[in-house]
Amino acid sequence: MSPVSTTSVRYVFVTGGVTSSLGKGIISASLAKLLQARGYRVTIQKLDPYINVDPGTLNPYEHGECFVTNDGAETDLDLGHYERFLNIPTSQSNNVTTGRIYQTVINREREGAYLGKTVQVIPHITDEIKRRIKLLGETGEYDIVITEIGGTVGDIESLPYIESVRQMIWEMGSSNAAVIHLTLLPYLSTTGELKTKPTQHSVKMLLEYGIQPDVLVCRTEKPVSNDLRRKIALFCNVNINAVIESIDASTIYEVPLLMLKEQLDKVIINKLKLPLKQEPDMLAWKDFLGKLKNPVYEVRIALIGKYIELKDAYKSIAESFIHAGVSNECKVKLEWIHSEKLDAGNVKSTLGSMHAILVAPGFGERGIEGKIAAIRFARENKIPFLGICLGMQCAVVEFARNVLGFADAHSTEVSPESNYPVIDMMEDQKDIQHKGGTMRLGEFPCSIVKGTKAYHVYGKSKVMERHRHRYEFNSKYLSDFEKGGMIASGINPDNGLVEMVELKNHPWFIGVQFHPEYKSTVLHPHPLFVRFVKAALDKSNGTLQEPKSDATAVIVNS
Ligand code: GLN
């Protein structure tokens, strides 16, 4: 007999079978969206079975973008999806890795907290995993916590997580928890059939570990017939209505509606013995999707970065463009351009037909000169420009070299010997040796200067934005820049750091030290992206306005 739990928080565990990359994150986010739309308070947590303490130190080619939360956690990119779907922020507790679990247990062992006991995977590691899973529930902020287990069932490294889930269900009682297993039904074109065997094997493996899934979400490229659903239900020991078809969709934003049609939310709510409350209110979502699928206009925007071979490296930026495109009833065609392939000689032929240019965040020297060449082209040809983090820093370097005449101006990240270190390491970063979690991370306030383009974008003078960097604008040069026509339009009110720059004599040229892409959601597209796409649209139809004389110039520190 399992102990009866007094907790009212319900837990939904999402595991993956057959293969990776089936989209557990999107299924979790879609279910959460539907439960939220019924009136439940929901959050999603991702457990990652790798030994890195967080993905902050991972190369983007390995793991895609590193997403940053308000409280400064460097996390898996799935947390970006959770925020974009749910429109509520996540935090440090929403992403846990094996590295973090072991670090906590080993630190505790060194403190002597285990009183001489042998420290083992079971119970010590599993206890720590369970503690981390329960943390979100204990905040009292949520009715339902959805916990996604990274990796695929059967992986050696996810075993302790699966065992922890088994223990939690036993402890809480099975009506307080539900398990969704995401699997693949491969289609064999030779016989024209969807095959169920990999799903059967994967469920058997889960059963070996003591877990009976309640719901099977089956990824498929063809519709799943009732006969096939019955067969899967029979062999895998689930209700027939708990065999959910997840057919390939043209956009991830369609998945919540597909899951609504399959009644995934109802099946889960019934399993958790909760009231259905209202029918999900998905009106705003449907409106968004309708506009996404039926754009009136189209713009071409260059996204310049050095990791473009892996589109996931710029996930939040690409999604922000989708949100902002919908706001403008406009399809944003992103042209992914490798910064290493750009130079002064080919910049015109590569970028000449773009309606706007974005230079992406990044680290290190590779591709820097290509970014600078692209920025020069945008500045001189009055093409709307948005530079994010390293993109903003490159805009500062470009302006210093080509407008102010500071010949070897650079960021000290790339050229420590520069005579004009216009971007320099932040003071409080200079003594830091450790790499993990030590950048300027998370949400900081930014004061927007009235009368600037930035103010026009936000329509208010105080905003909060998320950061992830070690270097910053070197304020020693601020008056040179402002005299030359690049002004600081966003300043951190607490320490005076320059967070936004813009050009006076350019219709739309803004660089931001922070990452607006981390804050754009379906229901709240980020104003910087919305206005940037609008500027691209104006550029495309010839209505982009030159700034009126000096009207936008506000010198900050004169
Ligand atoms: N490498 C730069 C810094 O550390 C920019 C970082 C970024 O683009 N996120 O300041």
How far is the centre of ligand 1, averaged over its atoms, from the C-alpha of 498 (Å)? 14
Expressed in angstroms and rounded, the spacing between residue 469 Cα and the centre of ligand 1 is 4
Higher pLDDT, 556 or 397: 397
Token code pair at residue 516:
């607006």
The token pair that represents 449 in the structure block: 């200067």
| Residue 309 annotated in active site | no
Please give the average per-residue pLDDT across 71-93, as a whole number: 95
Which tokens is 14 given?
């999402």
Provide the pLDDT for residue 7.
56
Task: Mark 54-70 as b/e (b = at least 16 C-beta within 10 Å).
Answer: bbbbeebeebbbbbbbb
List % helix, strand, coil for the chain (3-state, nearest 5): 40, 20, 40
For a ligand 1 pocket test, name from 316, 389, 414 the mutation site with the most ligand atoms within 8 angstroms of its C-beta.
389
pLDDT over 80 (residue 320): yes
Residues 434 and 15: their CA atoms lie apart, in Å, by 34
Please name the helix (run of DSSP H) or strand (run of DSSP E) that holds residue 199, with its range, or none: helix 197-208
Nearest-5° Cα angle at 94, 4 to 432: 135
497-504: average pLDDT: 97
Radius of gyration over every alpha carbon of the chain, rounded to an integer in angstroms: 25
**Residues in the chain, total:** 558
Write the CA distances from 469 to 46, 436, 439, 461, 473, integer angstroms.
24, 12, 5, 23, 11
Residue for token pair 């979502």: 285
Q: Does the structure show a pLDDT above 80 at 550? A: no
Name, in order, each residue with C-beta under 8 angstroms of 331's C-beta and a sequence gap of 6 or more.
295, 297, 298, 299, 325
Nearest CA to ligand 1 atom 3: 469
Q: Is 470 close to ligand 1, i.e. is its CB under 6 Å away?
A: yes
**Is 181 marked active-site?**
no
pLDDT digits (tens, 9 = 90+) for 7-23: 589 999 999 998 888 89
Predicted confidence (pLDDT) at residue 436 exceeds the cutoff of 90: no
Query: pLDDT tens digits, residue range 35-57?
Result: 999 999 999 999 999 999 988 88
Range with lowest mean pLDDT among 26-30, 310-314, 554-558: 554-558
On average, the pLDDT of the chain sits at 94
pLDDT score for 238:
97
Is 66 one of the annotated active-site residues of the chain?
no
**379, containing H or E segment:** helix 368-380
User: For the chain, what percent of residues have pLDDT higher than 90?
Assistant: 88
- Residue 3 — very low, low, confident or very high, per pLDDT cuts 50/70/90? low
Q: What is the mean pLDDT of residues 518-535?
A: 98
Indicate the pLDDT class of residue 555, thresholds 50, 70 and 90: very low
Ligand 1 center–CA 251 separation, angstroms: 30
The residues, any chain, with a CB within 8 Å of residue 493's CB and separated by 6 or more, are 445, 446, 447, 462
502 closest CA partner among 518, 482, 524:
482
Q: Whose CA is nearest to atom 8 of ligand 1?
A: 361
How far, in Å, from the CA of 470 to the mean position of ligand 1? Answer: 6
Lowest mean pLDDT among 92-101, 346-355, 495-504, 540-549: 540-549
Q: What is the DSSP string of 151-180?
A: S-TT-GGGHHHHHHHHHHHHHH-GGGEEEE
Closest ligand 1 atom to 472 CA: 10
* Residue of 355, 467, 515, 526 marked catalytic: 515
Chain segment 222-281, per-residue pLDDT in tens: 999 999 999 999 999 999 999 999 999 999 999 999 999 999 999 999 999 999 999 999
One-letter amino acid at 509 equals F
User: Are 26 and 160 spatial neighbours (Cβ–Cβ below 8 Å)?
Assistant: no
Under the banding of pLDDT at 50, 70 and 90, the label for residue 434 is confident
Residue 63 has pLDDT above 90, yes or no: no
Atom of ligand 1 nearest to the CA of 360: 8
User: Looking at 119-128, 205-214, 386-395, 423-432, which range is the least confident one?
Assistant: 423-432
pLDDT at residue 557, rounded to an integer: 40
In order, the DSSP letters of 276-325 are --SPP--HHHHHHHHHHHS-SEEEEEEEEES-TTSGGGGHHHHHHHHHHH
The letter for the amino acid at 261 is K
Give residues with Cβ within 8 angstroms of 469, minimum separation 6: 389, 390, 439, 440, 513
First-to-last C-alpha distance (Å) of the chain:
75
